[in-house]
Structure 1
């Protein structure tokens, strides 16, 4: 019988990574009921692949990328379910804080870039690693996302 494989530091990684993933997902979603589940699902996936990802330069960025993809999938399914349940001609009323409402109006990439940078303090390079896009693309998303937020919130373009 083979001895169980050591966790190679996964337990410690989990304790440090879970709050970061949860905070990130909370900034990207207005639905806190799924944030914890998605964060734990992403870390469960990481646990299954830990023998590979523990050697990555930024394993936390890998987990964030997985968590964001899981969140996107959930949001798409939830949006489709909500629209299917709303009677024809009736618009669902959503009462939320103005900034979160405005963030939700942004495209997914603009919303992710703005939330990661301005709400969570990620650098352009860190956002590029998490979203698996180039730094110049991150800067473009930030510029366009901020401009769109100003328009939505009624601010000036300066």
Structure 2
């Protein structure tokens, strides 16, 4: 106390919706990055780092149409940097022994095949098929033209069919 005045307690900081955004975005980021890399240990760190960067810029990105797209773009860049620094193949995700083992194997086969694609093909296919992003949204996230996205999507799908043993018709 100073001269009879009580110490003031700090006012709670208004996070302007970031806490809710964090809770909804973290699982999407981790699922997407895990599908692309298979390394769940690194994925969690990269996703949280991308969200930390987003927190620092929240005043700007909260007004974006799809702030999660901005965070995903940051996370993809961080993941690429990590992979370049460590120059290693990430291990496959361990498959749990549960009742839905066939379904788990099928999903893992797709994720494994996705990881065999070039980085850009796998990103485009994952954004489109796992997250439901449109061609224009993917173009915005990856900062490329829509025709480039369509080309990568077509080639990525064809390569996935080849890897998974399906027809390429």
Common fold, TM-score beyond 0.5? yes
Give runs of aligned pairs for residues 90-129 of structure 1, distance below 5 A. 97-129=108-140
Q: TM-score, normalised by structure 1?
A: 0.78
Q: Could you tell me how far apart the structure 2 residues matched to 1:110 and 1:37 are?
A: 23
Q: Quote the residue 2:24 is aligned against.
A: 16
Q: Deviations over 1:56-84 (max 9, x none)?
A: 22211111100111111112223x2x48x
In our comparison, the structure showing a higher alpha carbon Rg is: 2
Structure 1 residue 4: Cα displacement:
7.6
Q: Could you tell me how far apart the structure 2 residues matched to 1:136 and 1:128 are?
A: 9
> CA distance change for structure 1 residues 132 and 95 in 2, over 3 Å: closer, same or farther?
closer
Over the residues paired in the alignment, what is the CA RMSD in angstroms?
Answer: 2.6
Contact 2:35–2:115 (8 Å) recurs in 1: no
Are positions 1:151 and 2:159 aligned together?
no
Pairing partner for 2:39 from 21, 31, 35: 31
Q: Quote the residue 2:74 is aligned against.
A: 66
Q: Which runs of 5+ in 2 are unaligned?
A: 1-9, 95-107
Q: Deviations over 1:91-143 (max 9, x none)?
A: xx979854333322211110111122223332223222222222221111110
Q: Which runs of 5+ in 1 are unaligned?
A: 84-92
> CA distance change for structure 1 residues 48 and 12 in 2, over 3 Å: closer, same or farther?
same
Size of the alignment, in residue pairs?
146
Are positions 1:46 and 2:57 aligned together?
no
